[in-house]
């Protein structure tokens, strides 16, 4: 149910403006945005191999089912993190929240390289039906659809930005779309300044109402907050932040279960099967909201603001737990500001 609305090279003078809602089971364990290196948190998962495996099989065969290949892959994962001095300065280079069940993230950026990524699940009724039957099977989880945005923000005004889009469930085949500088790719994307994705296949009909609404709201925000010149240091960024958090908190339908129209997903019980018992673990809704800015000059400066949306309170197990809105409580906001570092 996540949603992302973003703009590149817009009239406010930013390289990137991103507004992102993470919609999830509210009791799902996770860590807030912080600096890290994707250390392994759960022994059942290794989201990213800690070091390249130099002894990988060299066979040209696509199969990796042989016993020797499997052991080598397992050995490569099991060695743990080894940090040589050359890479020491890149340690704790990633800024993101972490899903502690898998050790992965939904949105993150590297301070050293300017590389970033965010994703949303592609969810259909068929997916929900299969989830009820195969929710514990790893093969099913790996086959789930997703929209993935990956990119790299230039560290100075002389470096170009790169933004690519990929969807593994596109009916016309897997493809990547270049969104850098609002370029059109393969005739499939319109020349636009604002983009949006949620749980449908991006840029494919039908476009979810909340995506169309979110794009319209950001376009309106960009047009209202006009500035003279092209430097984003002339922009009242706090006003932009509040406009974007208001965007992420829009509700257009009274039903909390209307996840296709409402940008903010209010807490509701999501049951995998009709006989699933209602509990604190079945509460679903918007868990966090994130705003990201990338300035243009002289050095690229990143601002990331994350705030908690709905949380189960109290956190201790209790029969009286219930979701609470925390978005207006500044103690539940986290702000990070930094310049992208150079290779030197």
Contact 263, 3 (CB under 8 A): yes
Q: What's the confidence (pLDDT) of residue 185?
A: 37
pLDDT on residue 184:
37
Q: Could you tell me the CA-to-CA distances from 44 to 40, 101, 150 in Å, in that order? A: 9, 9, 26
Half-sphere exposure of 282 toward its Cβ, with a 13 Å CA cutoff? 13
Quote helix, strand, coil % in the chain, to nearest 5.
20, 30, 50
C-alpha span between 20 and 97 (Å, rounded): 13
Which residue, among 136, 140, 104, 135, has the nearest Cα to 119 in the 3D structure?
104
Both tokens of 140, joined, read 């099913």
For residues 324 and 306, the answer to whether their CB atoms sit within 8 Å is no
Pairing relationship of beta strands 301-308 and 283-294 according to DSSP bridges: antiparallel
For 163-183, what is each residue's pLDDT tens digit? Answer: 988 888 876 655 555 655 544
pLDDT tens-digit series, residues 95-118: 999 999 999 999 999 999 999 999
Phi-psi region of 9 (alpha: psi -120 to 50; beta: other; left: phi over 0): left
pTM tops 0.85: no
| Predicted local distance difference test score (pLDDT) of residue 1 | 81
Pairing of strands 310-313, 322-325: antiparallel
The reported pLDDT for the residue numbered 303 is: 97
Q: What is the pLDDT of residue 262?
A: 97
Any idea of the CA torsion for 179, 182, 187, 189, to the nearest 10 degrees?
70
- In terms of DSSP H, where are the helices of the chain? 67-78, 125-134, 138-143, 209-224, 237-248
Q: Would you kindly state where each structural domain of the chain is located, as residue ranges? A: 3-40+87-339
For the structural domain made of 3-40+87-339, what CATH number should be given?
3.60.60
Low-confidence ranges of the chain (pLDDT < 70): 45-90, 124-143, 171-192, 226-233, 316-319, 342-344
- Buried/exposed 192-208: b ≥16 CB within 10 Å, e otherwise: ebbbbbbbbbbbeeebb
Which of left, alpha, beta for 106 (phi over 0: left; psi -120 to 50: alpha)? alpha
- Shortest CA distance to 61 belongs to which of 69, 51, 71? 69
């Amino acid at each position: 149910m996540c949603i992302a609305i973003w703009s590149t090279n817009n009239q406010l003078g930013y390289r990137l403006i991103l507004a992102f809602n993470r919609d999830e089971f509210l009791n799902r364990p996770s860590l807030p945005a912080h600096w890290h290196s994707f250390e392994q948190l759960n022994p059942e998962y290794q989201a990213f191999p800690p070091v390249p495996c130099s002894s990988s099989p060299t066979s040209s065969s696509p199969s990796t089912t042989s016993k020797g290949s499997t052991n080598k892959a397992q050995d490569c994962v099991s060695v743990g993190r080894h940090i040589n001095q050359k890479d020491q300065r890149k340690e704790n280079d990633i800024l993101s929240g972490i899903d502690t069940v898998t050790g992965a993230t939904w949105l993150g950026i590297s301070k050293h390289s300017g590389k970033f990524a965010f994703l949303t699940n592609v969810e259909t009724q068929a997916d929900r039906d299969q989830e009820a039957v195969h929710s514990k099977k790893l093969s099913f989880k790996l086959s789930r659809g997703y929209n993935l945005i990956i990119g790299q923000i230039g560290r100075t005004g002389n470096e170009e930005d790169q933004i690519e889009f990929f969807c593994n469930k596109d009916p016309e085949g897997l493809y990547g779309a270049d969104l850098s500088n609002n370029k059109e790719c393969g005739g499939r994307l319109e020349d636009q300044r604002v983009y949006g994705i949620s749980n449908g296949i991006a840029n494919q009909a039908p476009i979810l109402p909340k995506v169309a609404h979110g794009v319209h709201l950001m376009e309106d925000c960009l047009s209202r907050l006009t500035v003279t010149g092209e430097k984003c240091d002339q922009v009242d960024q706090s006003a932009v932040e509040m406009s974007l958090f208001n965007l992420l908190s829009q509700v257009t339908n009274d039903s909390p279960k209307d996840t296709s129209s409402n940008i903010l997903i209010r807490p509701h019980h999501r049951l995998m099967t009709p006989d699933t018992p209602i509990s604190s673990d079945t509460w679903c809704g918007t868990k966090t909201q994130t705003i990201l800015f990338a300035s243009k000059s002289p050095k690229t400066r990143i601002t990331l603001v994350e705030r908690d949306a709905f949380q189960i309170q109290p956190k201790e197990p209790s029969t009286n737990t219930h979701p609470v809105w925390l978005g207006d409580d500044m103690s539940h906001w986290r702000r990070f500001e930094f310049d992208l570092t150079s290779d030197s």
